[in-house]
Amino acid sequence: MAVPILRQGDILIVTLQGDLGDAEWAKLTDDLLDRIAERPTRHAVLDLSVVDVLDSFACRTIVGLTRMVSLRGPTMIVAGIRPSVAFAMVQLGALLPGVATALDLDHAMALMAHG
């Protein structure tokens, strides 16, 4: 299942459609980094609102992905993490330092509009 990456001006939006397997996470990381290169990009949003479960591999991938995106320039916002997923991430040590987080896509948009 390919994950759609939408561009809105200088913003890239990745909305997951369901739980991803290990290979899909790796592919998503590559695709997102490629899309950042194609045009000037200020923000990248990863919307996890439909994700019920994250295993340790997915957590590590998300931490890596956010760091790589930040290194390429855009600020990274992770949106829509569910309560159970948030608690699991904390217990797995995936704290996303230096990454902005938002309640949902709407909140992420508001954060970008303010800076």
Partner 1 sequence: MSTSQSIAAAGGFAAIPEKNLRLFWKAYEERYDEVSARAAEELLALPEFAAFANLISEEESAARQKASRLRLAHAIDTGSWEEYAEELISQGEMYGEMSISFVSWYKAISVVRVVILPHLVEAYGSSGDDLISAVLGMDAFFDVAMATIGTSYLLRKEATIMVQQDAIRELSTPVLPLREGMLILPVVGVVDSHRAHQLTQGLLEAIRSSRATVAVVDITGVPSVDSKVANHFIQTVEAAKLMGTVVILTGLSPAIAKALVTLGVDLTKLNTVGDLRGGVEEAERLLGYRVNQIGA
Q: Which residues bind partner 1 (CB under 8 A)?
A: 78-79, 81-83, 86-87, 89-91, 95-96, 100-104, 107
Nearer to partner 1, 27 or 82 (CB): 82
Pairwise CA distance, residues 6 & 58, whole Å: 21
Minimum distance of partner 1 from residue 58's CB (angstroms): 14
Nearer to partner 1, 41 or 66 (CB): 66
102 in helix, strand or coil? strand
* CB-CB contact of 22 with 62 (8 Å): no
Minimum distance of partner 1 from residue 101's CB (angstroms): 4
Single-letter code of the amino acid located at 31:
D
Nearer to partner 1, 15 or 31 (CB): 15
β-strand pairing of 75-79 with 5-8: unpaired
Minimum distance of partner 1 from residue 38's CB (angstroms): 28
Nearer to partner 1, 74 or 80 (CB): 80
Single-letter code of the amino acid located at 108:
A
Q: Which of 94, 46, 38 is nearest to 70 (CA)?
A: 46
